[in-house]
């Protein structure tokens, strides 16, 4: 469920989610009303997990008013698990308060993005690696699941090292207990990415890179690693084999087998 609320206070260079947020604080009652209407449209049987993505930080009280939490938890009661998104900096006591209200298991999705030291310093995310470590430890200590977002093609990562640093970041997140990790290719459209591309600090990742990065992650057994397919058609790639490559990525996303499906032969790519 995509919920509209207050904009995130962090202005990450790669993010365009601010386009779907409000100019001011989220009005009390707005999120429960949105969620209630959305849930009414669902036909049974209900899915196992409810994801609440508000294009901001769920534990930022400007984005999610504290007085709305009991009603949100009540609406989430039919689900065995609930996922919300949060910057590592906003994980803390309010996280525990919401977890205590839920009848199901809480999972928090956190953007680690990259462990590349130069790139991480330029993303404007205001996240030190040790702060992410503490957030991951806090969640583990309180039996709250961790989901992590990792970028492919982060600005300031050399293009020839892009897949390597994505794999390193995925391994880092898995080592800190992330049970699910989504590899997200960086896409343009927010203005800042286009500026960085003009400066030579960003090269759009390709479909083949996403495919290869996901394939490289197959050996990680402690976490479920998937590739984000949102706007997959925008990724540069060979049009001759695009449908087959997308289908291969989808297959790897859904298969628990550590063995990846056979690579796609393509004479146009040779």
Q: What is the pLDDT of residues 185-208, one digit of tens each?
A: 999 888 889 999 999 999 999 999
Quote the radius of gyration of the chain (alpha carbons, Å).
19
Helix (H, G, I), strand (E, B), or coil: what is residue 78?
A: coil
Q: Does residue 45 have a cis bond before it (omega within 30 degrees)?
A: yes
Count of C-beta atoms within a 10 Å radius of residue 42: 12
Residue 16 pLDDT: 80
Residue 117 pLDDT: 95
Residue 270 pLDDT: 61
Residue 111 pLDDT: 96
CA distances from residue 111 to 24, 96, 168, 178, 182 in whole angstroms, order as listed: 23, 19, 15, 11, 10
Rounded CA-CA distance 73/82 in Å is 9
Q: What are phi and psi of 33, to 5 degrees?
A: -65, -45
pTM: 0.94
- Give all domains of the chain, ordered by start, each with its CATH number: 17-254 (3.80.30.30)
Residue 268 pLDDT: 82
CB 174 within 8 A of CB 188: no
Residues of the chain above pLDDT 90, percent = 83
* Ranges of the chain whose pLDDT falls below 70: 270
DSSP code for 19: G
Residue 18 pLDDT: 76
Token pair recorded at residue 14: 């790669």
Residue 167 pLDDT: 98
Q: Are strands 145-152 and 180-185 parallel, antiparallel or unpaired?
A: parallel
């Amino acid at each position: 469920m995509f919920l509209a609320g207050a904009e995130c206070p962090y202005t990450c260079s790669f993010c365009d989610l601010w386009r779907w947020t409000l100019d001011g604080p989220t009005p009390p009652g707005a999120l429960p009303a949105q969620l209630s209407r959305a849930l009414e449209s669902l036909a049974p049987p209900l899915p196992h997990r409810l994801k609440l993505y508000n294009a901001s930080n769920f534990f930022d009280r400007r984005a999610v008013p504290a007085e709305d939490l009991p009603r949100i938890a009540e609406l989430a009661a039919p689900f065995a698990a609930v996922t919300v998104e949060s910057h590592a900096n906003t994980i803390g006591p309010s996280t525990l308060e919401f977890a205590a209200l839920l009848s199901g298991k809480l999972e928090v999705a956190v953007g680690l993005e990259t462990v590349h030291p130069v790139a991480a310093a330029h993303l404007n995310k205001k996240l030190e690696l040790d702060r992410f470590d503490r957030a991951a430890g806090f969640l583990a200590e309180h039996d709250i699941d961790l989901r992590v977002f990792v970028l492919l093609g982060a600005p300031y990562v050399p293009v020839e090292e892009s897949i390597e640093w994505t794999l390193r970041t995925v391994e880092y997140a898995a080592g800190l207990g992330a049970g699910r990790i989504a590899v997200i290719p960086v896409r343009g459209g927010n203005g800042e990415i286009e500026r960085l591309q003009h400066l030579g600090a960003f090269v759009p990742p390709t479909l083949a890179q996403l495919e290869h990065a996901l394939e490289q992650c197959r050996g990680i057994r402690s976490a479920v690693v998937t590739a984000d397919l949102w706007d997959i058609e925008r990724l540069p790639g060979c049009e001759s084999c695009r449908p087959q490559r997308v289908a291969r990525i989808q297959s790897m996303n859904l298969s628990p087998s550590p063995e990846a499906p056979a690579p796609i032969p393509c004479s146009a790519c040779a």
